[in-house]
Amino acid sequence: MLNELQNSPVCEARVQSMLKEMVRSAVGRMIARQESAAPAGESEAHLDRLKAETDRIRDAQRTRDWSVASRFAGELARQNGLDAEAVEAPAVARQVLFLMRRLNELNARVEQDFEDPLHVGRELLLDHGLTPSRDAMKPPMLLSEAIEKACEEAPPDVETKIRVIGKLAIAFFENVAVSSIVLEQTELMRWMPPPDGIECAITVS
């Protein structure tokens, strides 16, 4: 089952979306930290925490303790439709731990030299499909938010249809980041029966 999960194009899209959000949120925190009033002595403590965390990651990589990956992915994994078992699969966990080391290296450099994370992290951001700009650091849109936005811009008759299909979509995908939904899933949803309590039909054009 794990082999199927790792080789699935749907899962791969969710994994890449999760990694992208790990980068986005980490760099966003670096920017916020630079722009806040840090207590005296906090910088050294922050660097010590980064070093200790990197040492734990390195030990986990060396011992193949993939369970560590799900602790770092946390809520971002759930938002992208990935449970702990999926994140702890070796092919996924390896990427998570490697990325965390890169992020910690960037974080330490930003903390030590007070460099702009958007500048020194440019390569890392581009590697994950992110433009090195403040706007690109905004949180991803969740499916529920996308549905509400579409309803706000739609006429009343269309809004009703959007809300019905939106309920079905959330029941099928869960309230994940829109960026984690791929074409293969939307095609499959066309042929799925509606869940209990949702009386609707999907018209296949």
Range of the domain at 133: 2-137
157 — alpha (psi -120 to 50), left (phi > 0) or beta?
A: alpha
Tens digit of pLDDT for each residue in 95-120? Answer: 999 999 999 999 999 999 999 999 99
Q: Do the domain assignments include residue 203? A: no
Regarding whether 133 and 63 lie in a shared domain, the answer is yes
Nearest to 43 by CA among 115, 144, 112, 145: 112
Give percent of the chain with pLDDT exceeding 70. Answer: 82
Q: Do the domain assignments include residue 200? A: no
Structurally, the chain folds into a number of domains equal to 2
pLDDT given at position 141: 78
Q: Do the domain assignments include residue 196? A: no
Rounded CA-CA distance 203/205 in Å is: 6
Tens digit of pLDDT for each residue in 7-61? Answer: 555 588 889 999 999 999 999 999 999 999 877 678 999 999 999 999 999 999 9
Nearest to 69 by CA among 52, 81, 51, 82: 82
Regarding whether 96 and 168 lie in a shared domain, the answer is no
Q: Does position 134 have pLDDT exceeding 90, yes or no?
A: yes
Query: Please, are residues 49 and 126 in contact by the beta-carbon 8 Å criterion?
Result: no
pLDDT given at position 172: 77
Averaged confidence pLDDT in the chain = 83
List 142's β-bridge partners, or say none: 177
Regarding whether 148 and 91 lie in a shared domain, the answer is no
Q: How far is CA 72 from the centre of its chain?
A: 11
Mean pLDDT of 141-156: 86
Q: Do the domain assignments include residue 17? A: yes
Query: What's the predicted TM-score (pTM) here?
Result: 0.71
